[in-house]
Chains A and B, each alone.
Chain A
Amino acid sequence: EVQLVESGGGLVQPGRSLKLSCAASGFTFSDYNMAWVRQAPKKGLEWVATIIYDGSRTYYRDSVKGRFTISRDNAKSTLYLQMDSLRSEDTATYYCATLNGGPFAYWGQGTLVTVSS
């Protein structure tokens, strides 16, 4: 059974940093592209970043480019999102998801990040 378990969310002040983790199990992690998708409170879904299966390429939405870094450790089957220079508009539940080609096939339960002073 595929499992994705996010952690690392919490309350953080504007301008500070936070690092999210996503522990994967039930599938061969190193075979899959992975992504982070976020959802602000009462709002829709927003793709954040993608990383290719071997870590060779990454993609980011414009609003996080230069501030967020997606990475992975295939030996540990873990996906990361380093978030720097956080802003109030980054407040959201962050989901990790597997990318099976184009669609996000499996999703974690999400971890809430609140950026507030």
Chain B
Amino acid sequence: NIVLTQSPATLSVTPGESVSLSCRASQSISTSIHWYQQKSNESPRLLIKYASQSISGIPSRFSGSGSGTDFTLSINRVESEDFSIYYCQQSYSSLYTFGSGTKLEIK
């Protein structure tokens, strides 16, 4: 199975800062990575698909990059509503896997 390693586990930031969250795959997966946001007691929401493709309705401050094994979710000028947990997920293999998540918290 393809293992996704997210780092850091927790990221403490001040609103207005820009941040980068990392997701590393155990093997090359081209751009078959997707990012989700999950707020407390809510269902996950798709933010970015195929590494860098935007999703309708998602604020433009969210962007993604990377290919192969290293991927990044960037948030430009974090807003208060962005403090939540972020997961990456791969679809290179039909046996989908998720990363363990990065919690974005207020400093």
Chain A contact residues, CB within 8 Å of chain B: 35, 37, 44-47, 50, 59, 61, 95, 100-105, 107-110
B8-22, CB < 8 A from A:
none
| Chain B interface residues (CB < 8 Å from chain A) | 32, 34, 36, 38, 43-46, 49-50, 87, 89-91, 94-101
Asked if A47 contacts B97 (CB within 8 A), the reply is yes
Contact check, B101 vs A44: say whether CB atoms are below 8 A apart. yes
Cβ B32 vs Cβ A102 within 8 A: yes
Residues of chain B with a CB closer than 8 A to A103's CB = 34, 46, 49-50, 89, 91
B89 touches A44 (CB 8 A): no
B34→A44 contact, CB < 8 A: no
Q: Nearest-CB distance from A35 to chain B (Å)?
A: 8
Known: A44-B98, A61-B95, A110-B43. A102 touches B50 (CB 8 A): yes
